[in-house]
Amino acid sequence: MTDRNQKITALLLPLRARSSLSQRRAARDNPALLAIWDVVAAIPRGAVSTYGAVARAAGLPGRARQAGYALRLAPEQLNLPWHRVVSAGGRIAFAKSSAHHREQARRLRAEGVLVRDGRVARSAIIDLEEL
């Protein structure tokens, strides 16, 4: 278990997040979620990755949806850079009219990532195998 994973686990113990008790217990005891959170936490500022690449880097190839699920369950106390994860092709996954879409685009732009028509610049997408 990495140091970051140990910190994540420690934060989950007293968790009072928006999720139900069963979801909190499942997250605390689920090594896949911990691995995904660890990978997302390692994405550097100004860079972006895809849900699929995050899943592969966490040792879960083919589980892009699980990466999205893990981010949705992540407690706010972890301060994960969720906005650095996008859909395949660099597209923001949220509906264009949603507050989440606007917030993700705002956060990415604040880090210097070019966002145009709901897509990030290809040059911002990194290969997580290098991390």
Q: Under CATH, what is the fold of the domain 3-130?
A: Arc Repressor Mutant, subunit A (1.10.10)
Higher pLDDT, 4 or 96: 96
Q: What is the pLDDT of residue 26?
A: 59
pLDDT band at 92, cuts 50/70/90? very high
Assess whether pLDDT exceeds 50 at residue 104. yes
Assess whether pLDDT exceeds 50 at residue 16. no
Measured torsion, CA atoms of residues 16, 17, 21, 22, in degrees rounded to the nearest 10: -140
Q: What is the pLDDT of residue 10?
A: 59
Q: Where are the domains of the chain?
A: 3-130
DSSP 59-109: T-TT-HHHHHHHHHH--GGG---GGGEE-GGGB--S-TTSHHHHHHHHHHH
Helix, strand, coil percentages (3-state) for the chain, rounded to 5, are 55, 10, 35
pLDDT for 18-46, tens place per residue?
A: 455 555 565 667 899 999 999 999 999 99
Q: Which residues contact 18 (CB under 8 A, 6 or more apart)?
A: none
Q: What is the pLDDT of residue 46?
A: 96
Look up residue 24 and give its two tokens: 């909190």
Q: Which residues contact 107 (CB under 8 A, 6 or more apart)?
A: 83
In this prediction the pTM is 0.80
Assess whether pLDDT exceeds 70 at residue 71. yes
Q: What is the pLDDT of residue 29?
A: 72
Q: How far is Cα of residue 90 from the mean position of the Cα atoms in its chain?
A: 14
pLDDT for 107-130, tens place per residue?
A: 999 999 999 999 999 999 998 876
Look up residue 102 and give its two tokens: 């606007």
